[in-house]
Structure 1
C-alpha cells in the first residue's frame, strides 16, 4: 500500500512539475512577445503582462510539490544537526505538520478567493474570469499535500 501511495505521489508531482515548466515557458514566450511589440512595433499588448503574472503564479504553486519532495524548502538545519536520531524524527514530524497546516490554510483561503474572484474579470482580458488566476492556490496546495 505504501509503494502504491508513493507511486501515486511521484506521478502527481511529476505532472505538477511538467505543468510548472509549461507555465514558465509560456511566461517567457509572453515576455518576448511583450518586448517585441513594445520596443520594435511600438504598440504594446496589454494582455501579455497579465498572462505573464498569472503564469508565474501558476508556475510557483505547481512547482512547490517538487520542492517538498526534494527537501528543498526552508528547513531548520542547525536544530537538525544538533539533535540526535530521536530529535530528528520529532523535528521532521513538526516540520511536516507545520507544512501540512500551511498548505491547508492556503487551500482554505484559496477556495475563498477563487469563489469571490469568479465574478471579477482580468484587467486586459475582459472575457477571462479571475477564477482561473486564483485557482492556482487551492490546486497548488492539493498537489503539495
Structure 2
C-alpha cells in the first residue's frame, strides 16, 4: 500500500505543480496583454478560473492522502490506545462518506449538467471542467482506504510490541 500511496502522491504533486506553473504563466500573459497591449484575453481568464478549480480539488485529495488537512486535535491528543485507533478509523470513514456523497454522487450529477453546457470563451463542454469533482472524490476514497489499512497495520504492530 505504501508504494501505491507514494506513486499517487508523486503524480498528484506533479499535476498540482504543473497546474500552478501553467496558472502563473497564464496570469503573466493576461497582465501583459491587458496592460501592455490594451487587449485583455477573456480566454485566459476562464482558463485561470478552471485551472484554479482543478488545482484546488486535486490538492484537496493530496492533502487528505497525506493527512495534512485541518483538524481539531483536542480530543485525539487526549486519547491513547484503542480509543485513539477507533477515533482515527471513524474520522477516515467520515471523510470517505462525505467524499462519496459530495464528490462522487454530487460531482457525477454536476458532470451530467455540464454535458449540456458549453463554455462560451473556450467552446468546450463544461463536463471536461466538472469531471475533476468525481476524480478527486475517487482519489480521496482511495487515500482513505490506504490510510485505514495503514492505521490497522500500525495498531497491530503496537499490539505485538506490547505498547497498547
TM-score past 0.5 threshold: yes
Q: Which of 119, 128, 136 is residue 132 of structure 1 equivalent to?
A: 128
Distance 1:85 1:129 in 2: 51
Which sections of structure 2, spanning at least 5 residues, go unmatched? 142-164
Q: How well do the aligned residues superpose, as a CA RMSD in angstroms? A: 1.3
* 1:20 positional shift: 1.4
* 1:117 positional shift: 0.4
* 1:94 positional shift: 1.3
Normalised by the length of structure 1, the TM-score is 0.90
Structure whose alpha-carbon radius of gyration is higher: 2
Distance 1:75 1:15 in 2: 25
Distance 2:70 2:120 in 1: 34
Which residue matches 1:53?
Answer: 49
Normalised by the length of structure 2, the TM-score is 0.80
**SS at 2:124's partner residue?**
strand
Higher strand share: 1
> Number of aligned pairs?
140
* 1:141 positional shift: 1.1
Which sections of structure 1, spanning at least 5 residues, go unmatched? none
1:55-134 correspondence to structure 2 within 5 Å: 55-105=51-101, 106-125=103-122, 127-134=123-130
Residue by residue over 1:18-48, the C-alpha shift from the partner in whole angstroms, topping out at 9 and shown as x without a partner, is 1111111111111111111111111100011
* 1:124 positional shift: 1.6
